Structure 1
Amino acid sequence: MSPVPDLVLRRAHIPHTTGSWDLVLRDGRIESVVPAGRALPQGPALDLDGRFVRPGLWDAHTHFDQWTVRRRRVDLAPATSAAHAAAVMRDALAAADTASASGSGSGSGLLVGYGFRDALWPDAPSLAALDAVSDERPLALVSGDLHCGWINSAAARRFGVRAPDDGLLREAEWMALLDVLDRDERPGADDHRAAAEAAAARGVVGIVDFENADLLRHWPRRVAAGVTALRVEAAVWPGRLDEAIGRGLRTGDVLDPGGLVTMGRLKIIVDGSLNTRTALCWDPYPGLPAGHPHPCGVQSVAPEHVEELVARAYAAGIAPAVHAIGDRANTQVIDVFERLGVPGTVEHAQLVSAADFARFGRLGLTASVQPEHAMDDRDVADTHWAGRTDRAFAFRSLLDAGAVLALGSDAPVAPLDPWVAIGAAVSRSRDGRRPWHPDERITREAALAACARGRTEVRAGDAADLVVLDEDPLQVDADALRTLPVAATLLGGRPTWKNL
């Protein structure tokens, strides 16, 4: 007698086929795919009633702790000016004080806001403006791109830093403080479980986590505590590279008994971001004052040090993933990969020099991109990268050049929702606006594959990491892709979300 399967999916539609099919799932894989109605093994079954089954989706770039704590922070995304952002914090502080007076909250601790984008604000942040909100309670406002923060004097005292007149800390100085904020707000297992299950509800089966934390230890503990809705590739940053090498860890090594967590890549950040005007470019940013120390952006890690880190990691079996946003940063990173002759991933690749597209393909590089950033930043790019946006967020050009494309969110910078990324990549539009550089749109199949690690088929022998949809994403209106309902998600044949 044949062993009982883990699950049988009955009457499914699958890509590139006609009719309906039954899928037998066993030991985490698809054991067989047969025409619907044939005799099947007895066991648990799920009748899909003609719904569409596709490979499960991945988010190729997340900061999972940041995404998890975002819901606790004051929402600054609507702020249209520095004065507006300060007013939002003032209202939040008043609400917190009221809650404290009623005994339902604490009115003395750090108050954190998230999501401001100041690149197009008509006024400038200042230390005085936040001190006017509160000169006693620490306030920290995290930018939407995570690359800068706006603090008041009380926060500066708390964290032992000097606040400049504008109250803004950028890049390395801010990243160090952001790490302290993360420890203060450290989410628990229930928070991580809720965030993981919310991702599963959008068809996500796995994430690449680039949080600057001890992920190689944190994630196995989370899984042991019941955070089991996702597969996770856990990255290391340069400060933890020696430890990873000392432990003999290599990219792809399994880190937990259930096989959900694997060793990921070495994350290196070589420049800043567009919204903070620190992405390293060949041309200067417009409107900067004379004598600005970084008119073309910030070089966070020198090319020779990038090369040394990549070479050392690769020799130890740890693959590299290098953050490069500006065109000069991308050229430098591609130069490193070319000199070393090793494969790798360029994270973001937002602005690419015309001559560098072909090198992505020739060197076999992966461009890990976030399509929703193009929608968030189109006006910022038109202002600060004027005359260059024909090669900004250029997903079609990267694909045509032979690059491997991987789609992600950079959550919390954009939502941890692959359908948002797919919709943005396919339409290059949002909120009823005309498509932005429509020549850079990619096909639905290309976008779906880039969210599924290249998988486009549902075949016997594949991992039973699957998403079930009420509608065919190849047929729905492009605008509907962003909110496409998910009927079920399966991880290794185990439902992690079901709404059937």
Structure 2
Amino acid sequence: MSGLLIRDAEVAGRRCSVRVRGGVVAELGTGLVRAPGEEEIDAAGGALLPGLTDHHLHLFALAATVSSVRCGPPDVRDRPALRAALHRAAPDRHGWVRGVGYDERVTGPLDATGLDALRADVPVRVQHRSGALWMLNSLAGERAGLAHGNHPGIERDDAGRPTGRLWRADGWLRDRLPGAPAPSLAAVGRRLARYGITAVTDATPSLTPAAVGRLTEEARSGRLPQRLLLLGAPLGTPSTARPAPGPWKIVLADSELPDFTELTEEIGAAHRRGRPVAVHTVTAVSLALLLAALERTGMLAGDRVEHAAVVPAEAVPVVRRLGLRVVTQPGFLADRGDGFLDGSPPHEHADLYRCASFLRAGVPLALSSDAPYGPLDPWAVISAAITRRVPGGRTANPAERVTATQALAAYLSPPRSPGSGPPRLVPGVPADLVLLAVPPAEALSDPSADLVRLTLIGGRIRYLRS
């Protein structure tokens, strides 16, 4: 294919045709005709948009869910269903069973004893839906050497014995599991393209050189066709590297918050390397710690807050004054918002996953999935930002609802400047585009992934609805 002519699309409010050639948008106009050797697609008035960016997900964890057993809603809702699911699961080639998405609503907190009662004949490890906790049965704990482990995330009982619960110990646990190649990202790449996503930011913290190498190979091979930014790329990674390093990821885990000096030193070290920071905060306490630290260290353009799950009203103007960007996930409300509302004090309900407050204050706001821990479908996340409806039918603080246009714009900002607004489609820009089957107004009235008709990345067709 020497090029592509997308005929009669709606672009920024006007009907026109768009020529793609050499990986970029070459021409826009009303009188364009198909050139020899050029492919042509009749948009029939459908919206042609810049490609969507998922500003926060975890690629290898997302790929690994394919070979994992689901251990939480909607697939599993009670103890008998969890037992059945774990027994149906085929162990991997090393004899392990890997579960994901566990929710305490299924059968309460799980530890080694609880997992043994569900399945004890093979080593089993189950990840909590938040991604922050692994739960191992006794056989898995023995194989991983929990009794002699020294990671601070290893939970122990009053006698000093491991309970089988590991908090934010992914790297430690990975080093003690049977060796396995990283999963291919080909299926993930196809799924992202199906949704119209042309760029992603992997938010996995502290990536090892080996992990960066695997991600690089997936991107260079085309198995992951999306443009890729890495928050966890080691400090010192050249800005010209591909995949590109993004802001330095810092996790403020409420199970073990760093002290103030430690946090300011880490932020300062990143800033001195020319790297902004992207800081995970899901509680008011961790957000207050971050804001105080940034007051001390000063800001670097591009510093951002990840999640911002609980933000007191008084913190919003501080976020604005400091010049922070916010990358949040209202999709969690649609996915499991009942648990948030029922499990938090009423005075915090107005603070959950704020969106409109940030926009009113002039804070750059981007939406994302946090997949596999949140729903990957960006159109579902956009709908959640518009309605803020939780599964049981309640609305989580309707004052934080945003318009459909605002929600879509929060997915269209470029990877390096989340929340900055959609790029303009003009000649010379990379042809990272998504064509919808209907005009913009109709698409925004009922956002759905089913409306995605075509996805281009660098001018190459990565998804075309048959």
Q: Same fold per TM (> 0.5)? A: yes
Question: Given the alignment, which residue of 218, 223, 232 partners 1:222?
Answer: 218
Q: What's the counterpart of residue 80 of structure 1?
A: 77
Q: What's the counterpart of residue 424 of structure 1?
A: 384
Q: Which amino acid aligns with 1:467?
A: V
Query: Structure 1 pair 6/302, CA: closer, same or farther in 2 (3 Å)?
Result: farther
Report how far residue 381 of structure 1 moved.
Answer: 2.0
Structure 2 residue matching 1:447: 3-state secondary structure: helix
Structure 1 residue matching 2:11: 3-state secondary structure: coil
1:13-24 equivalent positions in 2, closer than 5 A: 13-17=10-14, 20-24=15-19
Question: Given the alignment, which residue of 429, 443, 453 partners 2:403?
Answer: 443
Structure 2 residue matching 1:481: 3-state secondary structure: coil
Q: Deviations 1:137-181 (Å, cap 9, x if unpaired)?
A: 100011111111221110001111037579452423x33455348
Aligned mates of 2:221, 2:178 — CA distance in 1: 19
Question: Given the alignment, which residue of 248, 254, 257 partners 1:266?
Answer: 248
Q: Which amino acid aligns with 1:308?
A: E
Report how far residue 45 of structure 1 moved.
Answer: 2.7
Query: Structure 1 pair 477/333, CA: closer, same or farther in 2 (3 Å)?
Result: same
Gaps spanning 5+ residues in structure 2: where?
148-154, 414-420
Q: What's the counterpart of residue 129 of structure 1?
A: 114
Aligned mates of 2:66, 2:440 — CA distance in 1: 29
Q: Which amino acid aligns with 1:314?
A: H
Output the TM-score relative to the length of structure 2.
Answer: 0.86
Q: What's the counterpart of residue 375 of structure 2?
A: 415
Query: Structure 1 pair 159/466, CA: closer, same or farther in 2 (3 Å)?
Result: same
Q: Which amino acid aligns with 1:317?
A: G
Query: Structure 1 pair 322/179, CA: closer, same or farther in 2 (3 Å)?
Result: farther
Q: What's the counterpart of residue 86 of structure 2?
A: 89
The yes-or-no answer on 1:490 pairing with 2:456 is: yes
Q: Deviations 1:442-495 (Å, cap 9, x if unpaired)?
A: 1112111111112164333432111011023533475x4244431110112111
Q: Deviations 1:379-431 (Å, cap 9, x if unpaired)?
A: 22223321211111111112112211111111101232211211111121255
Q: What's the counterpart of residue 329 of structure 1?
A: 286
The yes-or-no answer on 1:26 pairing with 2:26 is: no
Q: Deviations 1:288-323 (Å, cap 9, x if unpaired)?
A: xxxxxxxxxx23333322211111111111221110
Aligned mates of 2:322, 2:284 — CA distance in 1: 17
* Larger displacement relative to structure 2 (70-79 or 213-222): 213-222
Q: Deviations 1:7-59 (Å, cap 9, x if unpaired)?
A: 22222122322xx3111223332222101x34565441322332220110010
Aligned mates of 1:392, 1:24 — CA distance in 2: 43
1:108-187 equivalent positions in 2, closer than 5 A: 109-118=95-104, 120-121=105-106, 123-162=108-147, 164=156, 167-172=163-168, 174-180=169-175, 184-187=179-182
1:470-481 equivalent positions in 2, closer than 5 A: 470-476=437-443, 480-481=446-447
Report how far residue 437 of structure 1 moved.
Answer: 1.6
Q: What's the counterpart of residue 67 of structure 1?
A: 62
Aligned mates of 1:376, 1:268 — CA distance in 2: 25
The yes-or-no answer on 1:366 pairing with 2:325 is: yes
Report how far residue 133 of structure 1 moved.
Answer: 3.7
Aligned mates of 2:63, 2:314 — CA distance in 1: 39
Q: What's the counterpart of residue 199 of structure 2?
A: 206
Q: Which amino acid aligns with 1:372?
A: G
1:278-297 equivalent positions in 2, closer than 5 A: 280=254
Report how far residue 334 of structure 1 moved.
Answer: 1.9
Structure 1 residue matching 2:130: 3-state secondary structure: coil
C-alpha contact (below 8 Å) 1:82/1:125 kept by paired residues: no
Q: What's the counterpart of residue 265 of structure 2?
A: 308
Structure 2 residue matching 1:357: 3-state secondary structure: helix
Q: Which amino acid aligns with 2:248?
A: L
Structure 2 residue matching 1:451: 3-state secondary structure: helix
Structure 1 residue matching 2:247: 3-state secondary structure: strand
Question: Given the alignment, which residue of 443, 458, 478 partners 2:425?
Answer: 458
Percentage identity across aligned positions? 25
Q: What's the counterpart of residue 295 of structure 1?
A: none
Question: Given the alignment, which residue of 33, 42, 60 partners 1:48?
Answer: 42
Query: Structure 1 pair 450/178, CA: closer, same or farther in 2 (3 Å)?
Result: farther
Q: Which amino acid aligns with 2:451?
A: P
Q: What's the counterpart of residue 151 of structure 2?
A: none
Q: Which amino acid aligns with 1:488?
A: L
C-alpha contact (below 8 Å) 1:55/1:467 kept by paired residues: yes
Structure 1 residue matching 2:371: 3-state secondary structure: coil
Structure 2 residue matching 1:13: 3-state secondary structure: strand
Query: Structure 1 pair 368/469, CA: closer, same or farther in 2 (3 Å)?
Result: same
C-alpha contact (below 8 Å) 1:23/1:34 kept by paired residues: yes
Aligned mates of 1:270, 1:439 — CA distance in 2: 28
Structure 2 residue matching 1:450: 3-state secondary structure: helix
Structure 2 residue matching 1:474: 3-state secondary structure: helix
Aligned mates of 2:371, 2:305 — CA distance in 1: 17
Q: What's the counterpart of residue 100 of structure 1?
A: none
Output the TM-score relative to the length of structure 1.
Answer: 0.81
The yes-or-no answer on 1:231 pairing with 2:227 is: yes
C-alpha contact (below 8 Å) 2:8/2:42 kept by paired residues: yes
Query: Structure 1 pair 82/398, CA: closer, same or farther in 2 (3 Å)?
Result: farther
Q: Deviations 1:339-370 (Å, cap 9, x if unpaired)?
A: 22214010000001221101122222111111
Aligned mates of 2:219, 2:171 — CA distance in 1: 27
Q: What's the counterpart of residue 355 of structure 2?
A: 395
Aligned mates of 1:183, 1:9 — CA distance in 2: 49
Structure 2 residue matching 1:7: 3-state secondary structure: strand
C-alpha contact (below 8 Å) 2:137/2:164 kept by paired residues: no
Report how far residue 223 of structure 1 moved.
Answer: 2.7
Report how far residue 269 of structure 1 moved.
Answer: 0.3
Report how far residue 209 of structure 1 moved.
Answer: 0.6
Aligned mates of 2:156, 2:120 — CA distance in 1: 15
Aligned mates of 1:70, 1:32 — CA distance in 2: 41
Report how many aligned residue pairs link the two structures.
439
Q: What's the counterpart of residue 8 of structure 1?
A: 5
Aligned mates of 2:142, 2:61 — CA distance in 1: 23
C-alpha contact (below 8 Å) 2:327/2:366 kept by paired residues: yes
C-alpha contact (below 8 Å) 2:98/2:126 kept by paired residues: yes
C-alpha contact (below 8 Å) 1:219/1:234 kept by paired residues: no
Aligned mates of 2:423, 2:406 — CA distance in 1: 9
The yes-or-no answer on 1:348 pairing with 2:307 is: yes
Structure 1 residue matching 2:422: 3-state secondary structure: coil
